[in-house]
């Protein structure tokens, strides 16, 4: 009985195999399977992904640019290793001599006294002017103001009206006259856009001096 069942099952299995084989031939599957040879498949080259710049990478590049700029700016700066730092007492003495010099001018031109700070003679080279003086005697718009030293040499500077100070050109004047911390200047407005400038050197007994 068991043998008969196995024989029937085997006949049924062979019949299904034969039917499946005919179906594969009808669909042309054997030829397709032969054509799908793994060695004949060509893989497409991987495209190189474009990796976006990350904020960290941008920060590194920015620091490199800033370092290069610092290197250039340092190479162009004056050698300030011999800069003299003075006490408040010596600085106040220079201011007092400048104020006396201003009083002795006996001029009808408006004037003011300005003691030099580090920011005036190094680094940013920005010279702020007395606000009230600017409002009273200087224009309300940006323009060129000429500085005339005691030798008659003229230096053009840029006056920024809203900021009440001198920017472009002031650095050239400061360097040309070796201005240092504590030096005190007397500015005399001899023309609407021109100052006569007298320099009172810090630690000097003279009334005014030029280089």
Higher pLDDT, 60 or 156: 156
Higher pLDDT, 208 or 184: 184
Its sign, for the CA torsion 83, 84, 88, 92, is negative
Higher pLDDT, 85 or 159: 159
User: How confident is the model over 93-147, as pLDDT tens digits?
Assistant: 999 999 999 999 988 999 999 999 888 888 777 899 999 999 999 988 999 999 9
| 114-118, 159-163, 194-198 — most confident range | 194-198
- The pLDDT of residue 77 is 46
**What is the DSSP track for 71-104?**
HHHHHHS---TTPPP--HHHHHHHHHHHHHHHHH
Token readout for 31 is: 């030829």
User: How confident is the model over 38-88, as pLDDT tens digits?
Assistant: 554 455 555 555 455 544 444 444 334 334 334 433 434 444 444 556 788
- The pLDDT of residue 106 is 87
At residue 21 the predicted structure's pLDDT band, cuts being 50, 70 and 90, is: confident
How far is residue 109's CA from residue 32's CA, in Å, rounded to a whole number?
106
Task: Decide: pTM greater than 0.75.
Answer: no
Query: Is-contact 194 202, C-beta < 8 A?
Result: no
At residue 168 the predicted structure's pLDDT band, cuts being 50, 70 and 90, is: confident
**What is the DSSP track for 136-156?**
HHS-SS-EEEEEE-TT--EEE
């Amino acid at each position: 009985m068991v043998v008969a069942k196995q024989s029937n099952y085997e006949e049924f299995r062979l019949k299904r195999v034969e039917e499946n084989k005919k179906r594969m031939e009808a669909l042309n599957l054997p030829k397709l399977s032969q054509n799908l040879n793994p060695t004949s498949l060509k893989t497409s080259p991987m495209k190189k992904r474009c990796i976006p710049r990350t904020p960290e990478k941008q920060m590194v590049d920015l620091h490199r640019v800033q370092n290069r700029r610092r290197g250039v700016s340092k190479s162009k700066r004056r050698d300030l290793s011999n800069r003299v730092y003075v006490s408040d007492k010596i600085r106040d003495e220079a201011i007092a001599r400048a104020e006396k010099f201003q009083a002795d001018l006996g001029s009808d031109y408006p004037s003011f006294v300005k003691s030099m700070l580090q920011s005036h003679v190094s680094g940013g080279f920005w010279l702020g002017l007395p606000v009230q003086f600017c409002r009273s005697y200087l224009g309300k718009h940006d323009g060129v103001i000429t500085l005339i030293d005691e030798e008659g040499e003229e230096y053009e500077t840029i006056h920024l009206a809203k900021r009440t100070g001198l920017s472009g050109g002031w650095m050239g004047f400061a360097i040309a006259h070796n201005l240092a911390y504590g030096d005190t200047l007397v500015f005399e407005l001899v023309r609407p856009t021109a100052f006569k400038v007298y320099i009172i050197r810090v630690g000097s007994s003279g009334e005014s001096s030029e280089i």
